[in-house]
Copies of this chain bind each other. A is one copy, B any other.
Amino acid sequence: MADITKNYQVEGMTCGHCEKSVQEEIGEIFGVTDVQASHESGTVSVSGAGFTDEQVAEAVEEAGYSLK
């Protein structure tokens, strides 16, 4: 399965620590190969194959934030 990249809007990230928390949680999803979060743009870019929006939403909440 080819890798895809999806972008999500995340509410509440204010600094690099927040980005790291979000990246760590999303990075644990099976199939995710790369994650880049930015508190400046309030977004997270997720690459990989086989992951779902629901899994991303759950991971973001696990980190203490939420998808817009």
Residues in A lying within 8 Å of B, measured CB to CB: 14-15, 17-18, 21
Give every chain B residue within 8 A of A14 (Cβ-Cβ). 14-15
User: How far apart are the CA atoms of A15 and B17 in the complex, in Å?
Assistant: 9
State the CA gap A36–B17 with chains docked (Å).
18
A-B contact pairs, 8 of them (CB 8 A): A14-B14, A14-B15, A15-B15, A15-B17, A15-B18, A17-B17, A17-B18, A17-B21
| Alpha-carbon distance between A18 and B21 when the two chains are bound, in angstroms | 12
A14 closest partner in B (C-beta): B14
**Residues in chain B near residue A15, CB distance under 8 A:** 14-15, 17-18
Residues of B within 8 A of A21 (CB): 17
